[in-house]
Structure 1
Amino acid sequence: METVGLFEAKTHLSELIARAERGEEVIITRHNKPVARIVPINEVTPAVASRRREALQALQSFEPIALGDVRIEDLIRAGRS
């Protein structure tokens, strides 16, 4: 994965898009900080989309985990402090 400055990305956009088409990934920076990524788009087949939907439905069908008197929100807040 290569990093490219914004000015260079603007002047070589066609080349960066061609690289993405070949499967490469490029990070664009502004003032040496990453701000964007050019990545190839992977087509999702109907079969893959269907399997993803089924997986999400399976996850949503799980019973909630019993925590007694403890609330998830309290655990999250405790973890952030």
Structure 2
Amino acid sequence: MQVNVHAAKSNLSKLIDAALSGEEVIIAKGNKPVVKLVPIPKSRFKAGALKELAGTAPDFLEPMSEEELALWERSE
């Protein structure tokens, strides 16, 4: 469906519904198509999805063991 800017302003809610239902919505200035109205894909992001991994990282503020320190200080 192609509509001009004036019709798009008047029918924006209907055009959004049409785009969400899968219809191609083009907004034109005069007869020249300039904008395509498309829905934003739903995000698959889920807050807290990795919370079971929390606390498994090493505590970098703890001092190194003598063996680890020796490995870091060893010169080659």
TM-score between both structures, scaled by the size of structure 2: 0.52
Give the % identical residues: 47
- 1:45 is displaced (CA, Å) by 2.7
Which aligned segments of 4 or more residues in structure 1 are displaced greater than 4 angstroms?
A: none
- 1:44 is displaced (CA, Å) by 4.1
C-alpha contact (below 8 Å) 1:24/1:40 kept by paired residues: no
1-side partners of 2:2 and 2:17: how far apart? 16
Decide which structure has the larger Cα Rg and report it.
2
1:43 counterpart residue number: 42
- Pairwise mapping of residues 6-45 of structure 1 onto structure 2 (< 5 A)? 6-45=5-44
2-side partners of 1:33 and 1:15: how far apart? 21
Q: Which amino acid aligns with 2:6?
A: F
Deviation by residue 1:35-70 (Cα, 9 ceiling, x = unmatched) = 111112222435xxxxxxxxxxxxxxxxxxxxxxxx
2-side partners of 1:24 and 1:45: how far apart? 23
2-side partners of 1:19 and 1:41: how far apart? 13
The SS at the match of 2:33 is: strand
The SS at the match of 1:16 is: helix
TM-score between both structures, scaled by the size of structure 1: 0.49
1-side partners of 2:23 and 2:40: how far apart? 11
Aligned length: 45
2:53 counterpart residue number: none
C-alpha contact (below 8 Å) 1:25/1:40 kept by paired residues: no
- 1:23 is displaced (CA, Å) by 1.8
